Structure 1
Amino acid sequence: MSFQIDDQTKKDLDIFGTYKSGKSVFDLFDLTTCKGGQDKLYKFLSEPMTDLEKIKERKDAVLFFRNHVTSRLNIDKDSLDYAVYYLKDRNSSVRRASKVWSAERSIMNKLNPSQSYHVVENGVNSLVNILKTLYAFSSNLSKEVEDSNFPLLLKKDNDKVLEIFTIEEFQNALKVKSLKPYDVDVYDSIFRYYQSRNIQFLINLIYEYDALQAIANAADKYNLAYPEVLPRSANCLDAEGLFHPFVENAVANNVSFGGDSNLLFITGPNMAGKSTFLKALGVSAYLAHAGFPVPAKRMKISLISGLCTTINISDDIQSGYSHFYAEVLRVKYVAAQLKENNNLLVIFDELFRGTNVKDAYDGTLAIVSAFARIKSSFFVISTHIIEAAESLSANENISFRSFEIREVDGHPTYTYKLKEGISTDRLGMYIIRKERVVEMINEVLTTNPEDINIENNK
């Protein structure tokens, strides 16, 4: 079963697109050195997994490069780019070469330099150097790393590399010191025809190593942790020091729920940190299932089959949908997904914010109560409607958290820290007064006397 995720969720979490933040999760990890490595990284991140063994294999491979910095593969980018360009170019390739033909071609090139000859000559030389580097890397790995410490995924690929280099043509390539014209044509036919499948495997493996090393580098750069993904039966979501990687000097929070309490209900006033926290949690769950490190000090999560968020939903003018109707359709969509797959992480930020308070209260109460009964999935829902949280407080399936507000010198201060319980803070009117909104409107009357006359004539 593939990991279930839709475009709305990817957009909410900024996985690939650079939306309001100007950043994407992909950008954070894109420390690759070549285009092929970048493409491989994109593929890794775009396909979260539901197979515990495969998740562990990728995580262990990244961890290996994290812990064996000296064992990392260093391929010259320019040589690799040229070799790939040469392999794709078929305008001047030969299947069989002879010494006489090669000598004549070399002489003709000196008399009348040819771009196609230059591509082959430099491409073969670049590829020979790459093969030498890759063989040295793989040989060192097999000597330095015990089988017990060698991730299965890397060991399997490394064994295949060493097996390829037992082939006579590859052994001879390792001994090359300088290539004569005939040698260039011989290796050209080997690389682009007779051993093209093995050559392509080695190039793809270099891309994969580049992507894995980039992930490991990003983990160090952003202080990310390697999560533990547990079997579905563990039914837990436990994170310590969770933070959003886009936020500078982010305040970290702890969150833990599962078992009988499968729904986390979060309250707090606007700007207290609810949306940022929900995004951090969603990003971490996504990354964990892609086999990537996560923005936290520590994280355990039981295997889920999909992720669905509603954080930045908007109205649909073309379809004639209001914001509220778009929200209702989104809840309906989630219900349909749960019917097909009841092992999801569902995140809603400010449920039913697009309607009046009464309908929002009633709708929140009904939807949250229904979600809480589905114990095979996790739900995280935020609201600033305190009354809804208070009405749900007797439900044992729901855990309540709120974002703390402290008063300093008579003014509220955001701590961005998650705490137990339900928030009773209401800061809407405080913010309106602080920004002098009403006063500014009233000042219109003093600066526009005609408005006063109109008012007096009524």
Structure 2
Amino acid sequence: MSFIADKQTLDDLSLLGKFNPGSVFSIFNKVKTRGAEKLLDAMFLHPLSDVEAINNRSAIFLYFNDHPTGFPFDDKQLERMESYLDEGGDGSYLLALWELSRKKIAALLVRDDTYELALTGIDSSIAILEACEQLLRQLEKEGRDKDQPWKKWSDIVRTIITDVRYKQLNSSSRSLLDNVRLHHMLTGTFRGQLKMLLELIYETDLYIAVAGVARAKGFSYAQALPKDRNKLEAKGLRHPGLDKGVANSLFFNTATNVLFLTGANMAGKSTLMKSTGILLYLAHMGFPVAATDVQFSLLDGIYSSVNVPDDLNKGYSHFYAEVLRVKKVAEEVATGKSLFIIFDELFKGTNVKDAYDATLAVTEAFTNFTNCFFIISTHIFEVGHALNNGGSQISFEFLPTIMQNNVPQYTYKLQKGITTDRQGMIIIENEGILNML
């Protein structure tokens, strides 16, 4: 079963978006090749759902984190090599001879450029193999060529560059027959291995880039645990887009599966909730996370309700859209899935009395689903007092506000308990709105 995160959740957490500089994708998109960018996009779209696969990928990123490596390949040459190999051949020398001879004749007679394109493909492939050979020698010198992230790549490179035919033909001046033999080798004999080599080069580009981001930003690598451990422990958690973000720690398990979060506007509730959702999504990808230490049990998915829009076409008000979102989550939770749920300001689209009653009822109901974890934030702190009956199922924490000369200051640091902070009118008065009116 694949990891669940619907469009609403992906949008709430700003996870995707190649052209969105504020997306989590953009934070990690420091790759040098289009092939690696496509691979990065695929990884973001398909988080992993297997503990071993997650931890194995994390281990590869950690390897490149601890062993910084330059990327010695040219993107344009890689693209030309890929296009050349995609055009392919059937492995027959006679057909390779016919194909290249025909293209050369066409080039002489009608100035057709297909022969030059074929030569460009051959030259680009050789240039990439030469770069591979140089990198391999460096890795051999360092004793790292047999390390797990490199072994498959180095085995393929050795097979090709030590082949007698390749060594004989790889020269600066080549005849038509030399080009035919090289064409036959590259698009026939070694085509499958070369295509695999390209994939491994793109993977390496991605590993180097992501590990570089993690090293620069001080990210760490989460440890995935089996689902039945039912645990999330995150220390030093912050938003990956904030280099100087204030760190917090969170803990969930079967006995305490709901975090009831209070705090004034701008105190940092939404950022904390998004940070947690992003952390879990990246952790299920096997990617580095913005925290100092993380252990998490495998989940089936994440659902969030942060920026729920109304729907003018369907005639849905903001409140009704919120209700439908809660219904969707309740249906998923009731199926027995292990999910992480984020509700930011439940039922803010209705009056305070209905919002109080609904938030109280929904939060109480969610405590029964101990295989799921919930963060529920609200301004209606009275709900917290009604829920706080001495049990351990709900953890009550808040983000405080400190008043200095009638100006609110925020620590962004979690504290135990329930806050009654409400500074909305103070902010309105400080902005001079009432005086304008």
Within the candidate set 123, 129, 133, 2:127 is matched to 129
Within the candidate set 416, 422, 431, 1:435 is matched to 431
TM-score (norm 1): 0.86
- Pairing 1:6–2:1 present: no
CA contact 2:25–2:44 (8 Å) conserved in 1: yes
- Structure-1 separation of matches of 2:284 and 2:427: 40
CA contact 1:73–1:134 (8 Å) conserved in 2: no
Q: Which residue is 1:354 aligned to?
A: 349
Which secondary structure state, in structure 1, belongs to the residue aligned with residue 358 of structure 2? helix
Structure 2: gaps (5+ residues) = none
- Pairing 1:268–2:266 present: no
Within the candidate set 363, 368, 374, 1:368 is matched to 363
Q: Which moved more, 1:361-370 or 1:39-48?
A: 39-48
CA shift, 1:175, in A, is 7.0
Which secondary structure state, in structure 1, belongs to the residue aligned with residue 303 of structure 2? strand
Within the candidate set 67, 72, 77, 1:74 is matched to 72
Where does 1:322-401 land on structure 2 (aligned, <5 Å)?
Answer: 322-394=317-389, 395-401=391-397
Which secondary structure state, in structure 1, belongs to the residue aligned with residue 400 of structure 2? strand
CA contact 1:96–1:186 (8 Å) conserved in 2: no
CA contact 1:232–1:303 (8 Å) conserved in 2: yes
CA contact 1:164–1:198 (8 Å) conserved in 2: no
Which secondary structure state, in structure 1, belongs to the residue aligned with residue 205 of structure 2? helix
CA contact 1:236–1:300 (8 Å) conserved in 2: yes
Which secondary structure state, in structure 2, belongs to the residue aligned with residue 245 of structure 1? coil
Q: Which residue is 1:416 aligned to?
A: 412
Deviation digits for residues 269-312 of structure 1, max 9, x if unmatched? Answer: 11110001111110000000000001112222121111111111
Q: Quick one: which amino acid aligns to residue 87 of structure 1?
A: L
Q: Quick one: which amino acid aligns to residue 6 of structure 2?
A: D
TM-score (norm 2): 0.90
Q: Which moved more, 1:278-287 or 1:105-114?
A: 105-114
Where does 1:57-96 land on structure 2 (aligned, <5 Å)?
Answer: 57-70=56-69, 72-89=70-87, 96=94
Deviation digits for residues 358-410 of structure 1, max 9, x if unmatched? Answer: 01000000000011111111111111101011111114200011001112234
Q: Quick one: which amino acid aligns to residue 33 of structure 2?
A: C
Deviation digits for residues 33-90 of structure 1, max 9, x if unmatched? Answer: 11111001111121111101100111111111111124x5421223212222333457
Where does 1:189-338 land on structure 2 (aligned, <5 Å)?
Answer: 189-247=184-242, 249-338=244-333
Q: Which moved more, 1:102-111 or 1:226-235?
A: 102-111
Q: Which residue is 1:444 aligned to?
A: none
When residues 255 and 121 of structure 1 are mapped into structure 2, their CA distance, relative to the original with a 3 A threshold, is same
Q: Which moved more, 1:80-89 or 1:305-314?
A: 80-89
Where does 1:127-166 land on structure 2 (aligned, <5 Å)?
Answer: 127-138=125-136, 141=139, 144-145=142-143, 150-151=147-148, 154=149, 157-158=152-153, 161=156, 164-165=159-160
Which secondary structure state, in structure 2, belongs to the residue aligned with residue 280 of structure 1? helix
When residues 94 and 119 of structure 1 are mapped into structure 2, their CA distance, relative to the original with a 3 A threshold, is farther
- Structure-2 separation of matches of 1:140 and 1:413: 54
Q: Which residue is 2:166 aligned to?
A: 172
- Structure-2 separation of matches of 1:365 and 1:424: 17
- Structure-1 separation of matches of 2:101 and 2:359: 82
Which secondary structure state, in structure 2, belongs to the residue aligned with residue 62 of structure 1? helix
- Structure-1 separation of matches of 2:314 and 2:100: 67
CA contact 1:139–1:162 (8 Å) conserved in 2: no
- Structure-2 separation of matches of 1:380 and 1:397: 12
Identity, % of aligned pairs?
37
When residues 98 and 322 of structure 1 are mapped into structure 2, their CA distance, relative to the original with a 3 A threshold, is closer
CA shift, 1:223, in A, is 2.1
- Structure-2 separation of matches of 1:108 and 1:283: 56
When residues 101 and 17 of structure 1 are mapped into structure 2, their CA distance, relative to the original with a 3 A threshold, is closer
Paired residues, number: 434
Deviation digits for residues 398-445 of structure 1, max 9, x if unmatched? Answer: 00110011122343211111111111111122122222323222xxxx
Q: Quick one: which amino acid aligns to residue 411 of structure 1?
A: V
Which secondary structure state, in structure 2, belongs to the residue aligned with residue 201 of structure 1? helix
Structure 1: gaps (5+ residues) = 442-458
Q: Quick one: which amino acid aligns to residue 121 of structure 2?
A: G
CA shift, 1:321, in A, is 0.8
Within the candidate set 69, 92, 114, 1:116 is matched to 114
- Structure-2 separation of matches of 1:99 and 1:257: 67
The structure with the largest alpha-carbon Rg is 1
